[in-house]
Structures are given as C-alpha cells and as structure tokens.
Amino acid sequence: MDAQPQLDGPVVVKVEGLHKSFGQLEVLRGIDMEVRNGEVVVIFGRSGSGKSTLLRCINFLEEPTSGSIEVDGIRPAGGHRTRAVREQIRQLRMRCAMVFQEFNLFPHMTALGNVIEGPVTVKGMPRETAIPLGEHVLEMVGLADKRDEYPIRLSGGQKQRVAIARALAMEPKVILFDEPTSALDPELIGEVLAVMRSLATELHMTMIVVTHEMGFAREVAHRVAFFHEGRILEEGPAREILAAPASPETKRFLDAVL
C-alpha cells in the first residue's frame, strides 16, 4: 500500500522559526513545520540531527530558545514561565500526548492505573469515569487482558502499547512518537507498528513520528521530513521522497537504512 495523499484540513501543529540551543550547541536551527488534522508526518535522520528535540519542544518538555509553537490554537508565550504561561503549557499538553522511546510507565501501577493516571490527575476526570475509558483504550491496543498486570510482567512491546493507550486516554488532538520501536527486540516491533498503523488509518489520528522504520513511513505517512544538522533538509510526500530523494544527504541516509 502506498503512503496516503496529503491532506488539506485545518492546521493542528504550527512551528515557526524554532531554534533550540543547549549552551553553545545549537540543536535546532530554524524549523518551520505545519501538521494538519489527520495527517501523519514521519521525521527521520541521523542521531543528533534534532529530531527528538523538536518533539520535546512541541510538548514544552524543552523550552524553545526562540520561535513559536502552536497546538490546536494554544500558543504559549516564550520566556519566563508565569502562572499564565504554565497554564497555557498545561492546556497544550492535554491536546498533545507523547509516546517515549523508553515507555516511562510507573512501575508501581498496573497497566490500567498507568493509562488512567493522566485523565484523573491532569484533567480531573472522576476515577469511575476514567476506568471504562482506560479499559476501552487498552482494548484498542490489544491489551484488554493485561489491565491488572504490572509493567514488570509485560514484554517491551506490551509496555509500549500501554504507553500508546495512556496517550490515547488523554483524547489528544495529536500524538508525538519519539522513536517508539528503537528500544524493542526485532520480533516485538511489528506489534507496536500495527497499533500505530491502525491509529492512522482507522482513527485518522494526527501523528508526528520520529522513526527509522521506513516501511511504516512509506505505507502510512502523508509526508516525511529529513533532518540534517538541526534543519529540515528535505520534506514532501512520503512516496516521492522515499522513492527519489532530491538531496544527496537524504539519499545516502536512505541507502543505509533501506
């Protein structure tokens, strides 16, 4: 199956002139990106090119050095985190869930407990309302039978699917995936990609995915963006970029991973 055609719906994520430095090291050097409702954008590139830093800036886990980020109409002001800015960031994070490379599950909570923690703690949802929601999203990722298991009793693929269910439970406008399969054994990667594929094709979830899984990108992504030294070197429809990259750097990278 070919990648999906580009969409023309409303913009959900808008990044303008984003720079991020850590001391003297400039990691992001002027990123401009728009992601539309229902769109899947795959970001790829070498380690250290700024891919994960972009996601962490979008979710304000890292403070942008300059530039602006807007998610579903929420655009936190830069600079000092006043009470008003902190509330803007909280509102943005409720709309923009993140799935991490290392799962980041609470070891003392069951799968269901991990999934409902966000809705209860962040959104103030009553526990009796959150439990059916949590059970529903666990079923969506194929883990209804693991609701009462603790992370130590789950495989890596199951842990990552719980993490995806946790993101879904927040009912976000967009999910950020930061190399969601890179910590998994090869035989477990497919089960996580299958869940992500269903989110894209059945739920039409807006997703920004940092990954080197080019087969997934070719099949599911509307667009891909190749990061090189803190910039987007090449961006466009997935089928076009992956089949015939214009940049020699992109071609070298794809030759190495495909």
pLDDT at 253 over 60: yes
Kindly state the percentage of the chain with pLDDT values over 70.
Answer: 98
Mean pLDDT, range 139-154, rounded to an integer = 97
Cα-only R_g, the chain: 18
pLDDT at 1 over 70: no
pLDDT in tens, 28-48: 999 999 999 999 999 999 999
Phi, psi of 77 (to 5 degrees): -75, 150
Mean pLDDT, range 59-67, rounded to an integer = 94
Rounded to a whole number of angstroms, the distance between the first and last alpha carbons of the chain is 17
* Rounded Cα–Cα distance for residues 253 and 251 (Å): 5
Q: What is the mean pLDDT of the chain?
A: 94
Confidence at 56, pLDDT banded by 50, 70, 90? very high
Question: Quick one: pLDDT at residue 5?
Answer: 63
Mean pLDDT, range 238-246, rounded to an integer = 94
* Rounded Cα–Cα distance for residues 203 and 258 (Å): 28
Give the start-end residues of each E strand in 88-152. Answer: 96-99
The residue to which tokens 């719980």 are assigned: 162
The residue to which tokens 């930061």 are assigned: 178
pLDDT at 6 over 90: no
* Rounded Cα–Cα distance for residues 209 and 216 (Å): 10
CA 49 to centroid of chain Cα atoms: 17
In this structure, are strands 223-228 and 231-237 parallel, antiparallel, or unpaired?
antiparallel
Residues forming a β-bridge with 11: 36
**1-15 exposure pattern, b = at least 16 Cβ within 10 A, e = fewer:** eebbeebeeeebbbb
pLDDT at 7 over 90: no
pLDDT at 2 over 60: no
Query: Taking Cα atoms as reference points, which of 206, 211, 166 lies closest to residue 184?
Result: 211
User: Quick one: residue 25, left, alpha or beta (phi over 0 = left, psi -120 to 50 = alpha)?
Assistant: beta
pLDDT at 234 over 80: yes
pLDDT in tens, 154-181: 999 999 999 999 999 999 999 999 999 9
pLDDT in tens, 71-125: 999 999 877 788 999 999 999 999 999 999 999 999 999 999 999 999 999 999 9
Confidence at 3, pLDDT banded by 50, 70, 90? low
- In degrees, rounded to 5, the angle at the alpha carbon of residue 146 between the alpha carbons of residues 141 and 110 is 105
**Model pTM score:** 0.95
